[in-house]
Structure formats: structure tokens, C-alpha cells
Amino acid sequence: MPYSWSTLPEKALFHKKSDGPAPVVLTIRTHNSLNANGFIKFITLMAVLMLLPILAFLGQIVMWIIAGSLGTCLAATWLALKASWKQGQLREELSVWSDCVLLERFNPNGSTQVWQANPYWTEIRLIPTHSYVSNYLTLRGNSREVEIGAFLSEDERPLLERDLLKAFNAATKPR
């Protein structure tokens, strides 16, 4: 799962926001299919495989044309993977207290979007079909509706909805 809880909501001791850090924090990250080690291995393997056709033309002028083309292809692949990796730094953090829910979205460009509401009055909505998005998941509260987990797959959003319901119910349960 590309999301994780700092503490399971059922086991957390909820308190007010003014009393300290959030007892429960949900972190949602984008899928990242290639880690740093995999990136290095892929680029190395690609470079080695690109050298094979060049070896057949050693000592000929056409070798430089092929080498330039393959080098450009390797550089373009490198840059595309780096850009994809940077986009993969997108994450959302949902902090839950007994009197406040705070959603922060950390964008790849360094900007942050913030939304907060009272968990008791926050409505969690899972819309089966929303234009071109299946299982569109939103939080509505404080006169505003925000999407959560936009980069999750359509199968993961209903699971997240269930977990959010558990967390909000645990946070608003009288103690």
C-alpha cells in the first residue's frame, strides 16, 4: 500500500490539537516503481547494451553517428526517469486530533496546500464515478471539499475510505 499510518487509529489516544502533535498521521505517497538502486542498474544495463552495436562499427565513421544517436537516447531516458522520479515526490499527510483534521499536500515544486476541519463534521465521500475518475475520494468540511489520494489506484481508494472512517470515528468517540 502506498499509504501508512503512524499509529493505528484504533490504538491511538486522541487529544486536542492544542495539547501537542497529532496522535495519528496518515502519509500517502505516489507509486514509485524504481528506487535509486534500480535506476542505476537500469541506466548501466542500457548503456552496456547500447555499446554492443557500436562495437560492430569500430574504426568506421558511421560509428560516431550511431554513438551520438544512442548517447542522445540514453540521455533522454535519464532525463525522463529523473523527471518522473521528481514527480513521484508528491505526498499527502493527514493529521488527526480529536478536534481537528489537517490535510497537507506537498507538491513536487515545493509548494504546500493545506486544508483543515473538525473530524466530527467532516464528511468522507467516495463517488463511484466522477467524470473520468472511478472511486473519487473527497473530504468535505469547513465549507470546502478537497480530494484525497488522487494518485492512488481506483481499488485502493475504497480501502482508504474505510480506514479514514475508522480514524474519524476513533477520534470523535467520547472518552
Identity (one letter) of the amino acid at 128?
A: P
CATH number for the domain whose boundaries are 3-31+90-172: 2.30.29
Query: Mapping DSSP to helix (H, G, I), strand (E, B) and coil, where does residue 101 land?
Result: strand
- Per-residue model confidence as pLDDT tens digits over 125-140: 998 876 778 888 999 9
Backbone angles phi, psi at 155, to 5 degrees: -80, -25
> Would you kindly state where each structural domain of the chain is located, as residue ranges?
3-31+90-172, 36-87
Q: Report pLDDT for 159.
A: 93
| Residue 90: band (very low, low, confident or very high) from pLDDT cuts 50, 70, 90 | confident
Mean pLDDT of 56-67: 90
Strand-pair partners of 90: none
Strand order in the sheet with 144-147: 123-130, 133-141, 144-147
Q: Report pLDDT for 1.
A: 60
Q: Are 99 and 118 in contact (CB under 8 A)?
A: yes
Provide the pairing of β-strand 24-29 with 3-5: antiparallel
- Per-residue model confidence as pLDDT tens digits over 17-40: 988 999 999 999 887 777 889 899
- Per-residue model confidence as pLDDT tens digits over 101-130: 999 999 888 899 999 999 999 999 998 876
Strand-pair partners of 106: 91, 112
